[in-house]
Structure 1
């Protein structure tokens, strides 16, 4: 990761956490994170990794998940070094979010490792590497299915499996989205469609949590920025 992109990830991760923890309109106090039980997806690099470091510095208990075990190990070791809490629990589980059946395993592992769950941070994504115009081809349809599984359906599955535990803790769900979902950018049909979908789903879920007076908050963290 280039220096400019690393700085951007660090700054954006701080903003994401600030939005997540200030949802009630109260002043943010890092002490509120002490001993919280937190699961972060897509935590092996970028914003997810930096969020893990921020939570570790505030004494949270963490489970991290991503596809690359070697990078997860590095992040976990760094979290242990950064944590002011010698008794904090830091664990990881390797999972590819296109395998939707693994989402249940990730939640079960996290709840078992942390003895509950307070905060679910959904951050993983399949990012577009090239602009792909939509021709209605079989390849378009295949790519769309993969993108929707990773960038949308996995979010829904993880939140659904986690919800019983978050209801007990009156916990928090945060999902990282993108400002691109608001713009019809040619060549990004699949990515933007998935971002629209998570905004729609979690927007309704937020209102349902309020209507049911569950105490569970749902926070949309819309990332925008450039690096030099």
Structure 2
């Protein structure tokens, strides 16, 4: 009972903070800004590109599929982007990732917002049997390419007073069975960006880093891989993208989406870990993975 009372009090404080401490977001903050969105041929990244385009940003989208990128660029222009370009890049190739920043700088003359959203390599879904090739593949795409892009962009973002947004997942905060490769990469990703953010602050370097912690989102990839295997309901990718854009532009430390279905489990993780383990188990239809 004491734990429940503590949880109730914390939720009340959290509710008050969330609804009364929000900064005002304006589309004028985005007009003309130079934005690179990775993993933007589909899913959340595609929606992020469209949100920036609607507000008149200069958008560069990147992924592996050129035809899809061409379609996304055309829609960005139709929505009102100041400019829109695409760059084909394979994030399993760290040299390709590194060169992407220089190519973006050549196109736009600089960079204001780096949105790191791509996902790939081995992300599951299935039992873990110790496949190290799969683990290294996942770490390369879902962690090391993020780091490579960040290192390559540090100077140009400092020059512009820009920001970094790293899209993470509840798989980087809570144990995710049957997605061990992906969860490992996301835990490491959060460690890198949270540590880097704190170090930059201590060094008095003005380069905000926003980490977006996402739940189950209705992207084609997520729904196809998890359909019938979990009891959770997927949240809309367009609304998710809007929250990520807003949080990044406002230089927020973290974005949680969907807010309550991510924050409450994280509170339970710390207050009642056994209960959280039970709830995680109840979220999976285990027979479907075996």
Shift, 1:210, TM fit: 1.1
Give the equivalent residue in structure 1 for 2:46.
49
Shift, 1:127, TM fit: 7.0
Alpha-carbon separation, structure 2, partners of 1:78 and 1:25? 31
Shift, 1:130, TM fit: 4.5
Shift, 1:35, TM fit: 0.6
Alpha-carbon separation, structure 1, partners of 2:79 and 2:100? 24
Is the counterpart of residue 64 in structure 1 residue 61 in structure 2?
yes
Q: Secondary structure at the match of 1:105?
A: helix
Is the 2:54–2:79 Cα contact (8 Å) retained in structure 1?
A: yes
Shift, 1:26, TM fit: 3.0
Alpha-carbon separation, structure 1, partners of 2:177 and 2:46? 30
Q: 1:51-77: CA deviations, max 9, x gaps?
A: 000000001001110011111000000
Is the 2:121–2:137 Cα contact (8 Å) retained in structure 1?
A: no
Shift, 1:154, TM fit: 0.2
Give the equivalent residue in structure 1 for 2:205.
214
In structure 2, stretches of 5+ residues that fail to align are 1-20, 217-232, 236-290
- Structure showing greater Rg: 2
Change (3 A) 1:129 1:203: closer
Alpha-carbon separation, structure 1, partners of 2:124 and 2:153? 33
**2:88 paired residue among 87, 91, 94:** 94
Alpha-carbon separation, structure 2, partners of 1:120 and 1:104? 13
Alpha-carbon separation, structure 1, partners of 2:101 and 2:187? 24
Structure-2-length-normalised TM-score: 0.66
**1:172 paired residue among 163, 168, 182:** 163
Q: 1:96-117: CA deviations, max 9, x gaps?
A: 1001110121101101101001
Is the counterpart of residue 190 in structure 1 residue 162 in structure 2?
no
Is the 1:170–1:214 Cα contact (8 Å) retained in structure 2?
A: no
Change (3 A) 1:57 1:126: same
Give runs of aligned pairs for residues 78-93 of structure 1, distance below 5 A.
78-83=75-80, 88-93=82-87
Tell me the number of residue pairs that the alignment of Structure 1 and Structure 2 aligns: 199
Give the equivalent residue in structure 2 for 1:124.
118
Is the 2:35–2:60 Cα contact (8 Å) retained in structure 1?
A: yes
Shift, 1:206, TM fit: 0.6
| TM superposition outliers: structure 1 runs of 4+ over 4 Å | 127-130
In structure 1, stretches of 5+ residues that fail to align are 1-23
Taking only aligned residues, the RMSD between alpha carbons, in angstroms, comes to 1.7
Give the equivalent residue in structure 1 for 2:99.
105
Is the counterpart of residue 31 in structure 1 residue 28 in structure 2?
yes
**2:191 paired residue among 181, 200, 208:** 200
Q: Which has the higher contact order (CA 8 A, sep 6+)?
A: 1
Is the 2:41–2:72 Cα contact (8 Å) retained in structure 1?
A: yes
